[in-house]
Amino acid sequence: MKTTFTVVLASVFSNAAFGQIGINTPTPIASLDIVAKRTDGSTAEGVLPPRLSGEEIKAGDSQYTESHAGTIIYASAPVRISSSKTANITAAGLYYYDGKMWQRMLPGDPRKLNPQSAGDIKNSMQPSDHNGWYLLNGRSVSSLPSSAQTSAAGLGFTTRLPDASDRILKTRNGAELLGSQGGNNNMTITRSNLPDINLIGVVSGTAESAGAHIHTSDEGGFLLGGTNVGNNGSGHYQGNSDSSSWGGVGMMGSTAISGAHIHSLSGIATIPTGGVGATMDNRSAYLVVNTFIYLGE
């Protein structure tokens, strides 16, 4: 350890006059030029940045200002409860400080340090705007910072941001406008929504037997025909059972007993459904989150 430190110091002091620092080289070609000590694989080469856990990085939040932009640290573990500067430290890896917060140095294209693009959408448990992400709550575009207004206008939102409150996201189909809204959380079934079937109720049966009975004259008499006595209409009504009624033709006062009998019954009846037309909740089981759109910082 002492030998390595001596070599580094010797390199630093020997090149200080030239304004460049070389490690393992007497002729640095950049402000800091690190040359591999060995190339045969017998030693581990490379640059090892400071290694801190996410919690340790968060503990130093107050020490990092805009002048520290470009600082690189390896986070050995994610932060458990993030601060505004450490919200992106969600996994072990290399992070750089952009002057406001720590950003992940993603694997793959090293130039793509910020993977977000204006118009990207995400769901989050974050309660409000953060790091260029703006809550989709239908607010006026004029209430946003100027840079965010420019991004929103470029996406076609010149008056208001879309309102994602109580809505799910739907992929665009055909000529639909991005940011347009539709659908309902509640629905009511109407007759046209019912299956194509006929609901017909057929009623059949018999009336209860009334037993042996007669029909009296006050229920309606019968005119006796077949005679010509007073059949010129000059007679007058004197009573249902009076033989001189209707010109002496007479009336029968009641029918004979016909014995016990029943009457058949048939027809079509209205079948009540018992419904009240109440609306139904049209949503599946859900988890409540906030929806954000990225408009840049």
CA distance 19 to 4: 22
Q: What residue has token string 């014995």?
A: 259
pLDDT at 284: 85
pLDDT in tens, 64-108: 999 999 999 999 998 888 888 998 888 889 999 999 999 988 765
Smallest CA-to-CA distance from 258 within 224, 209, 207 is with 209
Nearest to 132 by CA among 116, 150, 155, 108: 116
How far, in Å, CA of 184 to CA of 229, rounded? 85
- For the whole model, what pTM was predicted? 0.43
pLDDT of residue 199: 64
CA distance 168 to 133: 18
Residue 151 buriedness (CB in 10 A; 0-12 / 13-18 / 19+) = buried
pLDDT at 2: 41
Q: Residues 246, 230: contact at Cβ < 8 Å?
A: yes
**Nearest to 250, CA basis, from 220, 278, 230, 272:** 230
Please give the C-alpha separations between residue 84 and each of 58, 68, 99, 129, in angstroms, as whole numbers.
9, 16, 12, 11
Q: Is pLDDT of 233 > 90? A: no
Whether 120 contacts 169, CB under 8 Å: no
Check the CA dihedral 98-55-76-128 and report its sign: negative
Residues 86/54, Cβ–Cβ less than 8 Å: yes
The pLDDT assigned to 76 comes to 92
Helix (H, G, I), strand (E, B) or coil at 115: coil
Model confidence at 217: pLDDT above 60:
no
Tokens of 3: 């030998």
For residue 244, what pLDDT is reported?
A: 52
Q: Look at residue 255 in the predicted model and tell me its pLDDT.
A: 65
| Residue pLDDT, tens place only, 26-50 | 999 998 889 998 889 899 998 999 9
pLDDT the model gives residue 6 = 45
pLDDT tier, 235 (very low <50, low <70, confident <90, very high otherwise): very low
CA distance 275 to 125: 41
- Asked whether residue 157 carries a pLDDT value surpassing 80, the answer given is yes
| Average pLDDT for 143-170 | 91
- As given in the structure block, the two tokens for residue 152 are 């929103």
Q: Give residue 110's pLDDT.
A: 46
Per-residue pLDDT, averaged over 18-33, amounts to 86
Minimum mean pLDDT range among 58-62, 115-119, 162-166: 115-119
Cβ neighbours of residue 103 closer than 8 Å, sequence gap 6 or more: 88, 95, 96, 97, 113, 114
pLDDT digits 0-9 by tens, 45-66: 989 999 999 999 999 999 999 9
Mean pLDDT computed over every residue of the chain: 78
**pLDDT for 236:** 44
